[in-house]
Amino acid sequence: MKNNPFELKIGKPVDIDWKEGSFLDFDQSSADPRFGHSTLDTERRPFQSRYFIIAVMAVLGIFVYRLSYLQIVSHERYLALAEGNRLREQMLLAPRGLIYDRNRQELVRNEPSFELVLTPLDLPRDENVKNLEIIDVSKFFGLEEEAVRQIVAGSSPESFFPITLKQSVEREKAIIFITQESSYPGFSIQNNPERFYIDGEKFSHIFGYTGKLTENEYDKLKSDGYLYNDILGKDGLEAQYEEFLRGVLGKRLVEVDAKGFVKNTFQQKDPKPGSNLHLNLDAELQRVLYDSLVSETQAHRATKAAAVAIDPKTGGILALVNIPSFDNNLFAKGISLDDYARLITDPNQPLFNRATSGTYPPGSTVKPLLAAAALQENVIKESTRIFDGGQIVVPNQYNPGITYVFHGWKRDGLGSMDVYSAIAMSSDIYFYTVGGGQENLNITGMGANRVADYFKKFFLGQTTGIDLPAEKAGLIPTPEWKSQRFAGNAVEEMWFLGDTYNMSIGQGFVLVSPLQLTVATAAIANGGKVMRPRFVSEITDRDGNLIKKFEPEILNSGFINPEYIEMAKRGMRQTITAGTARILESLPIAVAGKTGTSQFDGSDLRRTHAWFTSFAPYDDPKIVLTVLVEAGGEGSSAAVPVARDVYEWYAKNRM
**Catalytic positions, please?**
364
Q: Can you name the residues that pair with 190 across neighbouring β-strands?
A: 115
Q: Can you name the residues that pair with 629 across neighbouring β-strands?
A: 305, 610
CA distance 633 to 609: 6
Q: Using alpha carbons, select from 91, 495, 16 the residue that is nearest to residue 268.
A: 91
Strands (E), 84-230: 87-92, 99-100, 106-118, 163-169, 187-197, 209-212
Q: Using alpha carbons, select from 484, 201, 211, 242 the residue that is nearest to residue 343.
A: 201
Rounded to the nearest angstrom, the gap between the alpha carbon of residue 296 and the centroid of all alpha carbons in its chain is 25
Residue 389 exposure: Cα atoms within 13 Å on the Cβ side: 5
Quick check: helix, strand or coil at residue 623? strand
CA distance 17 to 178: 41
Q: Which H or E run contains 55?
A: helix 46-68
Cβ–Cβ < 8 Å for 368, 575: no
Quick check: helix, strand or coil at residue 119? coil
Phi-psi domain of 437 (left: phi exceeds 0; alpha: psi -120 through 50; beta: other): left
Quick check: helix, strand or coil at residue 197? strand
CA distance 263 to 255: 5
Taking residue 589's Cβ as centre, other Cβ atoms within 10 Å add up to 17
Question: Helix H segments across 142-227?
Answer: 145-154, 171-180, 200-207, 215-221
Q: Cα separations (Å) of 563 from 244, 381, 524, 525, 527?
A: 43, 12, 11, 12, 9
Cβ–Cβ < 8 Å for 220, 203: no
Rounded to the nearest angstrom, the gap between the alpha carbon of residue 277 and the centroid of all alpha carbons in its chain is 17
CA distance 379 to 433: 10
CA distance 262 to 162: 14
Quick check: helix, strand or coil at residue 413? coil
CA distance 450 to 457: 10
Cβ–Cβ < 8 Å for 572, 401: no
Q: Using alpha carbons, select from 189, 193, 168 the residue that is nearest to residue 261.
A: 189
Helix axes 514-525, 367-376, angle to 10 degrees: 50
CA distance 110 to 88: 27
DSSP summary character for residue 505: T
CA distance 323 to 289: 11
Quick check: helix, strand or coil at residue 130? helix
CA distance 632 to 607: 8
CA distance 584 to 422: 19
Q: Which H or E run contains 291?
A: helix 283-299
CA distance 297 to 294: 5
